[in-house]
């Protein structure tokens, strides 16, 4: 597979941001996994992402390998899949041993890594990695990182002085994977959801808001997100120009074990629960993802779609098609949104993807779908034997 060395291109939000931290938008998300090649292949075949870069022994890197995946329709939507090649690569080995496959860091492109990092630390952020440069014959990339959600990091990155593929160490891929998948049309990241322990949501929301000069957009309190068995609390923090939106969930007491409690038990602590991926045609996206082998949560009952059909909100899509594919419709607030959630993609019931399409200026996060969604999740929890609280 041949590709131009200038693959990275320009961040789509460059020049359009309006926040005090100089954040241009989401850049890449990096997973630490047990077998990077296998997980990257799944993302290529199931999600329809392209393999566009590789780092490993063949590129002079001995302790790990990384696969750079990108959406065909938006090369700035990037996912990095990384695994360790040596037992001494403790950072990766310990993460995977404790958590299983999961998100280690999410990265934002910034005007100045040094300035953003300095402001974040002055605002109370916990440092992980001070600003540093990675250099090769194509220039240099600057990065730095702060802590969030236990073992997760927020990474700051700037490519303004780099003409290479992605970051130094990555080269054109050396693999020729068959291209027999259905194209999914995924465009980018809408939001990133973190799960935290009881009584930690407010602390992490305040931490992010103060460190990055964000604000709380939505606050779901007791009773807002619940079923007859379980409940949770949630806040959405966002940059003041809406480029970054991150919900944070914590468990709330219920009769049975909530999905957040299951996540924390299986993941062994707080972490990233899911990425919401944007599409402009969710019907085609979901249909093709199903054809690619992705499993989604169970379709809501007929009564759910009957209730939707009675509402007059200008639904453009055919409701029978939405029902056939199990797509959820939320009519709360401005416009409406369409969404669907995969089952967990790994062996542990932890990380999954959300597919989302926002119509007519919708800004919510699917509050009207919580009951149907959580009923489906609890059905899966019961099958795993994880719905009842531990005795």
- The answer on pLDDT for 1 being more than 50 is no
Higher pLDDT, 384 or 378: 384
- The answer on pLDDT for 338 being more than 80 is yes
Provide the token pair at 126: 């916990």
pLDDT recorded at residue 10: 43
Closest to 189 (Cα-Cα) out of 138, 141, 148, 246: 246
Q: pLDDT for 191-207, tens place per residue?
A: 999 999 999 999 999 99
Higher pLDDT, 146 or 257: 146
Provide the token pair at 297: 């949560």
pLDDT recorded at residue 223: 61
- The answer on pLDDT for 379 being more than 80 is no
pLDDT recorded at residue 77: 93
Residue position matching structure tokens 């999410």: 106
Q: Which residues pair with 67 in a beta bridge?
A: 54, 81
pLDDT recorded at residue 259: 86
Q: Report, as an integer, the average pLDDT of 21-46.
A: 96
How large is the angle between the packed helices 370-384 and 259-267, nearest 10 degrees? 50
Closest to 64 (Cα-Cα) out of 95, 96, 38, 87: 87
Q: Report, as an integer, the average pLDDT of 161-167.
A: 94
Max mean pLDDT among 31-45, 224-238, 330-344 falls in 31-45
Q: Report the half-sphere exposure of 247 (CA within 13 A, side-chain side).
A: 23
Higher pLDDT, 163 or 332: 163
- The answer on pLDDT for 333 being more than 50 is yes
What average pLDDT does the chain have? 89
Task: Give kind and range of the element (H or E) at residue 37.
Answer: helix 36-45
- The answer on pLDDT for 8 being more than 60 is no
Using CB atoms within 10 Å of the CB of residue 288, give its burial: 0 to 12 exposed, 13 to 18 middle, 19+ buried: middle
What radius of gyration do the chain's Cα atoms show?
Answer: 20
pLDDT recorded at residue 227: 64
- The answer on pLDDT for 140 being more than 50 is yes
Task: Give kind and range of the element (H or E) at residue 148.
Answer: strand 139-148
Q: Report, as an integer, the average pLDDT of 367-381.
A: 70
Kindly give, in sequence order, each residue whose CB lies less than 8 Å from that of residue 156, ignoring residues fewer than 6 positions away: 107, 108, 110, 113, 116, 117, 120, 143, 144, 145, 146
Q: pLDDT for 66-81, tens place per residue?
A: 999 999 988 889 999 9
Of 265-274, 292-301, 349-358, give the lowest mean pLDDT range.
292-301
Fold topology of 186-384: 2,3-Dihydroxybiphenyl 1,2-Dioxygenase; domain 1 (3.10.180)
pTM for this model (two decimals): 0.92
Measured in residues, the chain has a length of 391
Q: If one looks up domain 23-158 in CATH, what number appears?
A: 3.10.180.10
Q: Distance between CA atoms of 252 and 262, rounded to whole angstroms?
A: 12
Residue position matching structure tokens 């419709």: 329
pLDDT recorded at residue 374: 67
Provide the token pair at 68: 């750079």
Query: Domain-by-domain residue ranges, the chain?
Result: 23-158, 186-384
Provide the token pair at 239: 């940059």
- Please state, for a pLDDT cut of 70, what percent of the chain lies above it: 90
Q: Report the half-sphere exposure of 187 (CA within 13 A, side-chain side).
A: 11
Can you tell me whether residue 74 is helix, strand or coil?
strand
Q: Distance between CA atoms of 272 and 105, rounded to whole angstroms?
A: 9
């Amino acid at each position: 597979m041949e590709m131009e060395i200038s693959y990275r291109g320009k961040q789509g939000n460059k020049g359009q941001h309006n926040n005090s931290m100089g954040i241009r938008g989401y850049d890449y998300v990096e997973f630490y996994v047990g077998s990077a090649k296998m997980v990257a292949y799944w993302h290529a075949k199931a999600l329809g992402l392209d393999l566009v870069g590789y780092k490993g022994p063949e590129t002079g890197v001995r302790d790990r390998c990384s696969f750079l995946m990108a959406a065909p329709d938006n090369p700035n939507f990037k996912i990095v899949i990384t695994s360790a090649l040596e037992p001494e690569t403790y950072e990766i080995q310990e993460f995977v041993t404790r958590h299983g496959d999961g998100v280690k860091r999410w990265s934002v492109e910034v005007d100045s890594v040094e300035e953003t990092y300095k402001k974040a630390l002055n605002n109370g952020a916990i440092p992980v990695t001070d600003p540093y440069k990675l250099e090769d014959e194509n220039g240099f990339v600057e990065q730095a990182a702060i802590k969030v959600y236990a073992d997760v990091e927020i990474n700051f990155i700037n490519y303004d002085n780099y003409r290479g593929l992605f970051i130094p160490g990555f080269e054109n891929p050396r693999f020729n994977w068959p291209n027999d998948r259905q194209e999914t049309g995924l465009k980018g990241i809408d939001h990133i959801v973190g799960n935290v322990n009881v009584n930690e949501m407010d602390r992490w929301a305040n931490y992010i808001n103060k460190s990055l000069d964000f604000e709380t957009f939505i606050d779901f309190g007791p009773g807002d997100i619940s079923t007859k068995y379980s409940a949770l609390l949630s806040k959405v923090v966002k940059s003041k120009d809406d480029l970054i939106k991150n919900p944070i969930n914590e468990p709330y007491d219920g009769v049975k074990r909530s999905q957040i409690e299951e996540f924390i038990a299986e993941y062994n602590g707080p972490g990233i629960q899911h990425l919401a991926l944007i599409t402009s045609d969710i019907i085609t996206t979901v249909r093709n993802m199903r054809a690619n082998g992705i499993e989604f949560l169970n379709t809501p009952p007929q009564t759910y779609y009957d209730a939707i059909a009675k509402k007059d909100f200008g639904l453009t899509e055919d409701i029978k098609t939405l029902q056939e594919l199990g797509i959820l419709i939320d009519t709360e607030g401005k416009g409406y949104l369409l969404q669907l959630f995969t089952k967990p993609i790994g062996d542990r019931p932890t990380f999954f993807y959300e597919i989302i399409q926002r119509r007519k200026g919708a800004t919510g996060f699917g509050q009207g779908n919580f009951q149907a969604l959580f009923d489906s999740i609890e059905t899966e929890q019961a099958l795993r034997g994880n719905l009842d609280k531990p005795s």
